[in-house]
Amino acid sequence: MNKSNQTIKQSYSDELAERRTALAQNRSFLATERTFAAWIRTGFSLAGVGISFASFLQGVTSELVANSIGIMLDLLGMLTFVYAWIEYKMSYHFIKNIYDEATIPRQQFRLNFIYGTVLITVLLLISILGLIIIVF
């Protein structure tokens, strides 16, 4: 095999390795986003159940018990939102640092991280509003 063919094979091999690395990075980021979405769903469920329980139990038990259960579940939902954001942030930075040399631009994922931060802030505000509704 002459040097020209060997150089072409090496170049192709390097290009293929870079492409596979970029694809692996995409898969990692997307898996992180799916996990983030699952935690958000869980937080929504907990907060929604808390508000529903507080409303439903008003006529069945004392107002204090109904509100306490509703507030605890709503707070648990809020903590789930915060936990989801912290985990997403840590995973995002971990993946970004591992693939720092990859050729794929990370702008899309950076925007997703910013959107996730805004989403968590809005969800926390909505949950606080739910707590206010339960208490008053």
**59-91 burial by CB neighbour count: b if 16+ within 10 A, else e?**
eeeeeeebbbbbbebbbbbbebbeebbeebbeb
Q: Quick count: other Cβ atoms within 10 Å of Cβ 7?
A: 10
Neighbours of 134 (CB within 10 A): 21
What is the count of structural domains for the chain? 1
pTM for this prediction: 0.68
Least confident of 28-32, 73-77, 104-108: 104-108
**SS3 letters across 39-73:** HHHHHHHHHHHHHHHHHHCCCCCCHHHHHHHHHHH
Q: Which range marks the domain in which residue 82 is found?
A: 3-135
| Confidence bin at 35 (pLDDT 50/70/90) | very high
Give the pLDDT confidence of 38-72 residue by residue, as tens digits. 999 999 899 888 888 888 888 777 888 888 888 88
Q: Give the model confidence (pLDDT) of 83-134 as tens digits.
A: 998 888 888 888 777 766 554 555 566 667 777 788 888 888 887 887 787 7
